[in-house]
Structure 1
Amino acid sequence: MPPEATFSAGELRRAALAVLLAGDPLEKSAAAGALVSDWQAGRLSLDAQRALEPVDAPGRPARPELVPVRQVPHRGLGSAEGRAAFLHAIAHIEFNAINLATDAMARFPGMPEDYYTDWLSVAGDEARHFTMLVKRLAELGYAYGDFVAHNGLWDMAAKTAHSCLARMALVPRVLEARGLDVTPGMIERLRGLGDEASASILEVILAEEIGHVAVGSRWFGWLCAQQGVPPRRTFIGLVREHARGALRGPFNRPARRDAGFDDDELDQLEVLAGAPAR
């Protein structure tokens, strides 16, 4: 078995690659949490300069079946099945977020140590979110894999595999930031239906996702400074070229400000999304 296929590697980025390649969801989430503990305990070193073998696709189970976004059914939240389908969709996002965080560590060499420890912390959080959601699904009588899903998050990761700057702009600051906009409303709807258990999980996820998007903002700004490019113009240009279709208003301005957006960026995003600037 090659070193990148084990979880016992003594170097942080290679160990992150092993998590990325893990196919079993519970094994992947447990390994991501263990990676955080091993780093904090000093059991892992960091070789930030070494280029690792690129990964075209992360490890994943045979189920859920992946289908185009438009083929994912929309179900109401009024039934247990509908709530389970919704939570399954969030669980799938969190599963992919483990992949995205570990890929950000393994794929891009030459970054400061804080970059890798930031994304390590994100990977641990996403693994915990996934585990919470899987447990809640089981309480409703379902499991991860029981509903179809799409691969939109990893598709964008593939598009940005050539550039850490593009990755920081388009994955955390566009796709993951979408959760900051929609999650408060979903929490309110779940509470209105009496599903306090699910609403409480989403509250934890929302609070921590602000910090995850802020990690993307931090390193996007750092990379822009290193490359001598203007952050706002570069970000809007990347969104316009690669992700305009992913923008939907209204935006949760307070949460996005906490995550590193400024008002000029938000105004321009609202224009791109077709919403009036406020």
Structure 2
Amino acid sequence: MAVPTMAVPTMALRRVLGPGVALGRRSCCSKRPLPPDFVEALRAVVGGPNVSTAMAVREQHGHDESMHTAAAPPATFPSVRAAVACTVQVLQAAVPVARIAATLLLELHGSRRGLAEQQQQTEEIVRLNGGSSPAWAEEPEERGRLWAMRHSAWYAALALRPGCQGYSTDVCVPISRLPDVVVETKRDLQDSGLTGPMVGHVGDGNFHCLLVFDAQDPAEAGRVHAFTQRLGRRALAAGGTCTGEHGVGLGKRALLLEELGQEGLDTLRRIKAALDPHNLMNPGKVL
């Protein structure tokens, strides 16, 4: 049987290997599409025929001609759930969003002819979720100034507790589950007595907890570790992944095993060994 190539971003893939072992990527998060050459690498390393039994793909949009960004004052909402729900509904309405963060900052892209309609549609969704009407900026300099708020979030979080240590962790979930997971995570932070502002590229279901804690306090450090494990498992239970960016090499070894299974990890190790037979790249990490 011919092995299909992937010309579009693939979100989830389940394959049956030659020995009859099923190898599956369970997550359907838009944050981490599989690389286009993954199928070919899998076939080369595993060897023999293997067949796709299920696949999920992501729609692609063409190149944009112009862009708009929600300007100050950003849209405000009565609750975190309302802000995140607005994000999800904008994406589900197929508004071509370039970037989105739940402050709420949105950057729309497309042709100039379509931007007015997109803005109107976005403003209606914001209103239906109890948000204030956003203003809009068009010039690159103004857009950059607004996004600087998001880019400076790490340093702003550290300033909440001068002299303490910062630790960033993240997960990624399907956007339909994002409001519930964010609200549950906020409640978990409060119940744990932890300082952890949440930021993220929520348009693709990925959010970060910027945990600021006293590294000299073993009890607080223990609460941070326990929280990160609960966060990862919460994402897995929602059909997501335990990491969008952080911790996969060391901090999320156990979670990665839960997500991929032993066969999945063994296959990744075989691919790693084929590319790095002398184990020179990132020795001691999970792969």
- Which bin holds the TM-score, normalised by the shorter protein? 0.3 to 0.5
TM-score, normalization by structure 1: 0.33
From the two aligned structures, give the one with the greater helix fraction: 1
Q: Relative CO higher for 1 or 2, CA cutoff 8 Å, sep ≥ 6? A: 2
From the two aligned structures, give the one with the greater strand fraction: 2
